[in-house]
Each structure stands twice: as structure tokens, then as C-alpha cells.
Amino acid sequence: MNPTEINTSLFKRLRFVLVETSRAGNVGSVARAMKTMGFSDLVLVAPRCADPLTDAEAVAFASGAGDVLTKARIVGSVQEALEGCNFAAAVSARLREFSPPVWTPRAFASHAAGQAELRPALILGNERVGLPNEIVEGCNVLINIPSNPDYSSLNLSQAAQVLAYEARLAASGDTVEDRGVGFHGDAASVTQIDGMYAHLEEALVAIGFLNANNPKKLMPRLKRLFSRTGLETEEVNILRGIARAILERAPKA
């Protein structure tokens, strides 16, 4: 596969996920933003508006991107929305104490376009409250769009347009960041990583390192640590093997 084929495939690999969107018009506007840049994979998580894919406002705001709306899927959880993805990027103007590494849209786009095996997702939250901390902490990176610090609020569809634009540039070969060379295994999926965290937490509780009744901030810190590494499937399997060995040797209650 030549570099052009690798980059172009981002148009098929990149997924946009909208979480608890309140206005059907915003769903339509995001569909339009996606289509103008060549993307079409849209998933809605528990939208707060009725019939967001057929609502008259959604169709009007899509303005010719009705096919993106028609193909969009509605699911009940972020986990369902990320099925088949192995790299999740939360989008937020608000930084968190225990967020994953903070990237610009351009850094994300360059990373996603340059790895053919990556199946990335961009997760955008509710118009008023954004994304909850637990979703952000479970992602590989947090995307923060550079903006005026005195007024950093972007409309949902405006944010999607910026992201889609940067992704299109990168998919067309206009990348600015070299993230290193050498062997790369298959990137672990979000589901695989979540399972690893649960397994590791169980092991830490079993040996008394983590108090299940008073966990404090240990697991968010560990998630932040691992999110900086870009975990591969084999690495997740190794960590789960360690957790399994700990559980086998831990004192029995």
C-alpha cells in the first residue's frame, strides 16, 4: 500500500461521535460539516432530541448531506459507539486534572492519517455541558482547539468543521508532524483497554494496593499514564497477563 492509499483511507476510517446532543439542527450541521470534508461515519449516543435523523430542522441544516444523516446510527452508550475503533479522542475546551494527553486537531489528524491500522473516533459532547470526565478519562487523547482565551466557546458544528478540515488536509498528505519510525503493532481497541483497566483494578484490590471503598485518584492517574503510551494489543495482553498472575497468587479472602 502506497502512502496515498494509506492517507486516503482516513475518509473511511474516521468516525464522528456526538454524545447527548440537544438540538436536531446541530446534528444536521455536523453532518454537513463532515460531508463537505469527505467524511460520512456518524454515530449519535443517547441524543436528547426526538428523531434527530429525520427532524425537519436536522434535514434543513444538513443542506444536502442527507445521506450522512440516513446512514448515521443511534446507540445507547459511548462503548457501543466506539465498537470497531481503537483510538478515541475527546473534544473539549475545558482541560481536566486527569485528562489524557492534550493534542491539537492538527496533531490528531496527522497521527490518524499516518497509520492505516488506526480506526479513530472523535467524540463531541452536549452543547451545554460538554463531555463528562469519565468519558474524557477513558480516551487516548483530549483535543483542545486553539482559540481566543477570552472567548473559547465553539458551536458544536463549528468544532466538527475544524476537526474535519484538519483531517482532510492530513488525509490528502498535508501533514506536519513526524511521530517517529520503527515497528508498530496493532493499536489496542477502546474495549480492550477498558477491559485491561478493569482487570488491573481487580488485581490491585486483591493485593490491598487499592482500597475499593476509598480508591481516591489511583485509577484515573493510571489511565492518564497508559494513555500517553499508545497501547498496542499485545501490550494490553501482557498487562492482563500480569493482572491474572497477581490474582492467582493473591491471598484468598
- Return the CATH number at 220: 1.10.8.590
For position 73, what pLDDT does the model report?
A: 97
Q: How far apart are CA 126 and CA 22, in angstroms?
A: 7
Q: How many domains does the chain have?
A: 2
Q: Which domain CATH number covers 143?
A: 3.40.1280.10
Residues 23 and 139 grouped into a single domain: yes
Domain boundary among 124, 142, 171: 171
Task: Check whether residue 212 and residue 95 sit in a common domain.
Answer: no
What residue ranges in the chain does DSSP mark as E strands? 15-19, 41-45, 73-75, 87-91, 102-103, 120-124, 141-143
User: What's the pLDDT at 2?
Assistant: 47
Count how many residues are written for the chain: 253
Please tell me the predicted confidence (pLDDT) of residue 55.
Answer: 95
Q: What is the pLDDT of residue 156?
A: 95
Same domain, 118 and 56: yes
Determine the structural domain holding residue 67 and report its residue range.
3-171
Q: Tens-digit pLDDT profile for the chain (253 aa)?
A: 444 444 448 999 999 999 999 999 999 999 999 999 999 999 999 999 999 999 999 999 999 999 999 999 999 999 999 999 999 999 988 877 767 889 999 999 999 998 888 999 999 999 988 899 999 989 999 999 988 888 877 899 999 999 999 999 999 886 544 444 344 567 888 888 888 889 998 888 888 888 888 887 888 888 888 887 778 888 889 989 998 889 888 887 6
CA distances from 16 to 11, 77, 128, 185 (A): 11, 14, 18, 24
With respect to residue 182, please indicate whether it lies within any of the assigned structural domains: no
Residue 211 shares a structural domain with residue 100: no
Provide the pLDDT for residue 175. 52
